[in-house]
Structure 1
Amino acid sequence: MVARQHGVYPNQLFHWRKLNQDGSLSAVSGGDEVVPASELSDALRQVRELQRLLGKKTMESEIPREAVEVMKCENGLRAHPHCRGRPVKGVCEVLGVARPNVAEKLARPAGWQDGRYARKTDDAGLIEAIRDAVAHLPSYGYRRVWGVLRREQARKSAPPVNVKRDYRVMRVYGLLLQRRVAPPRPQRRHEGKVTVAKTNQRWWSYGFELR
């Protein structure tokens, strides 16, 4: 109705209203270049995002990449010394490790020990039995030695020996058989054609079958 009263098209009125909301009219009155407030807010948002990325990259550059070799030990990869004062996510991304694994290790108490290595087992009796079996059967590997021990334990009505324990004890005390290295295969000297030493010679063979 206002546009009709002043002889202005409605779309032109809507355009002026949008310019007023974006702050363009104040720029026009001041003689400055017209820049909508929406574009200004987008530019400021991009500046803040770039500042955030710059800070993130600066923090990541402070984390030494050589720490991966230093942190490798018997109990695995420990990244908690480098997580002090830094986010765990950024440290894990730079070092290339799994965040759940690092978070689990950060939650461990100071006196934590790996049960796989801290457990003490009495293998004196098992070692003597393995040595006796190997002395009489030197060509037996850990599988056959385990079978001998299992039969002896069954004869004595005793619990059987675990095969993994048998392998571990034999590996620790150097009682395993050495692996046989396969000899290198000779290369093929011809491609489907048998060669002879002299001319006018032919390879032949015969077969004999009983039925």
Structure 2
Amino acid sequence: TRYSKSDDALLLPLIENLCDKRATNGYRRITAHLNRQLKSGEHAFVKVNPKRIYRIMRLNNLLLAKHTGRVGDNRAHEGKVITLHSNTRWCSDGFEIGCWNKEKVRVVFSLDCCDREVMSYV
């Protein structure tokens, strides 16, 4: 049996309307917009719990697709940065060497990513 409260039928059109206007918003943002709308006093509700909105949206297929963290297989990064021409992409790094006399030697440099030439160092 599916769980539903009697007032869910009253909330569903309001949620669908917000989802139509804000197609990229998840249930938390929809809840915030809905509570702001309910606060204006047009409806019988005072405030709605995000878990309830999540349940209503899940039962009516209104949720966004879950983010998996992967951008796509066509953008897989193997750890190599390739540039076709010099002077289009640079990188920089620095390191510090502690000496026996407690002094420190700091080195900072910048490289051209195409030919790995050191452009500058300090």
Is 1:121 aligned to residue 20 of structure 2? no
- One of 38, 44, 65 as aligned partner of 1:153: 38
Matches within 5 A, 1:1-211: 120-122=4-6, 123-156=8-41, 158-181=45-68, 182=70, 183-184=72-73, 185-189=76-80, 202-204=115-117
Q: Note the alpha carbon deviations across 1:129-158, whole angstroms, 9 max, x for none.
A: 000101111111101100001101111184
Q: Which runs of 5+ in 1 are unaligned?
A: 1-116
Larger Rg: 1
- The structure with the greater share of residues assigned to helix is 1
Deviation track 1:156-186 (CA, whole Å, cap 9, x = no partner) reads 1841011100000000110001123413532
2:64 partner SS:
coil
1:56 aligned partner: none
Aligned residue pair count: 83
Distance 1:204-1:162 versus aligned 2 partners, 3 A rule: same
What residue ranges of structure 2 are gaps of 5+ in the alignment?
85-113
Task: Write the letter of the residue equivalent to 1:186.
Answer: H
* CA distance in 1 between partners of 2:3 and 2:24 (Å): 31
Using the size of structure 1 for normalisation, the TM-score is: 0.34
One-letter code aligned to 1:121: K
The superposition leaves residues 85-137 of structure 1 with CA deviations (integer Å, 9 ceiling, x where unpaired) of xxxxxxxxxxxxxxxxxxxxxxxxxxxxxxxx676412111110000101111
- What amino acid sits opposite 2:26 in the alignment? G
Deviation digits for residues 55-87 of structure 1 (CA, Å, limit 9, x no counterpart): xxxxxxxxxxxxxxxxxxxxxxxxxxxxxxxxx
Report the Cα distance in structure 2 between the residues aligned to 1:141 and 1:180, rounded to whole angstroms.
11
Q: 1:186 to 1:142 in 2, by over 3 A?
A: same
> Aligned partners of 2:40 and 2:119: how far apart in 1?
56
Distance in 2, Cα, partners of 1:140 & 1:180: 13
* Structure (1 or 2) with the greater strand fraction: 2
Structure 1: how far apart are the matches of 2:3 and 2:63? Answer: 23
Distance in 2 (alpha carbons) for counterparts of 1:169 and 1:118: 11
